[in-house]
């Protein structure tokens, strides 16, 4: 295959993946609401403004929520949780610290006002959902970038606003 054909095929596949992801967001948001159009449901009036502050990728958690990071300072990241059905937005945060002995740690304050301490710095966040149970997955790296471990924070569908 020539380079040009490979490039065109890669672009076409990228467009297909983007269309599938957009369709997934519409399906998640429209589930059980066939009378509403996508324009009235997605995006909500406050969504475009919220996404202006977004840093990094958007993740999906649960059956009707997305999460993403926003800038909040030099040693923290804001974590916003958005309900795609209602437009409700909840705030959480990750703070990065070092103690007197030089040990690094991350504090996660979630949208339910619970605090979690992770040893090391959180580098990446993902999610996992099975039925009505969801987990935020935090990957922690040491100061040289080597993965130490993952922390999972469990949420039921009722705990996701």
C-alpha distances out from residue 112 to 65, 134, 154, Å:
15, 15, 12
Q: What pLDDT, on the 0 to 100 scale, is given for residue 81? A: 92
Which residues in the chain belong to E strands, given as ranges?
A: 54-61, 65-71, 76-83, 89-98, 104-109, 115-119, 121-130, 133-141, 147-156
Q: Phi-psi bin for 131: left (phi > 0), alpha (psi -120 to 50), beta?
A: left
More confident residue, 18 or 94: 94
C-alpha distances out from residue 91 to 9, 72, 94, 161, Å:
40, 11, 11, 11
Domain boundaries, the chain: 1-42, 43-159
Confidence of residue 46 (pLDDT cuts 50, 70, 90): low
| DSSP category for residue 68 | E
Question: Phi then psi for 148, rounded to 5 degrees?
Answer: -90, -50
Cα angle 75, 81, 83 (rounded to 5 degrees) comes to 170
d(CA 21, CA 42): 14
CA atoms within 13 A on the CB side of 62: 20
d(CA 148, CA 146): 6
Helix (H, G, I), strand (E, B) or coil at 147: strand
d(CA 53, CA 69): 8
Confidence of residue 149 (pLDDT cuts 50, 70, 90): confident
Q: What pLDDT, on the 0 to 100 scale, is given for residue 42? A: 45
pLDDT in tens, 93-113: 999 999 999 998 999 999 999
> Tokens at residue 149, please?
């471990």
């Amino acid at each position: 295959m020539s380079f040009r054909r490979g490039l065109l095929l890669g672009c076409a596949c990228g467009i297909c993946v983007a269309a599938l992801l957009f369709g997934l967001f519409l399906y998640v948001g429209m589930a059980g609401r066939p009378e509403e159009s996508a324009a009235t449901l997605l995006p909500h009036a406050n969504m475009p403004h919220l996404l202006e502050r977004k840093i990094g990728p958007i993740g999906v958690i649960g059956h009707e929520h997305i999460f993403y990071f926003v800038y909040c300072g030099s040693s923290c990241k804001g974590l916003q949780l958005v309900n795609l059905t209602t437009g409700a937005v909840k705030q959480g945060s990750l703070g990065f610290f070092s103690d007197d002995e030089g040990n690094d740690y991350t504090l996660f304050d979630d949208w339910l006002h619970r605090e979690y301490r992770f040893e090391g710095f959180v580098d990446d966040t993902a999610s996992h959902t099975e039925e009505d149970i969801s987990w935020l997955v935090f990957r922690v790296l040491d100061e040289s970038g080597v993965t130490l471990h993952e922390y999972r924070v469990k949420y039921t569908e009722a705990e996701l606003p």
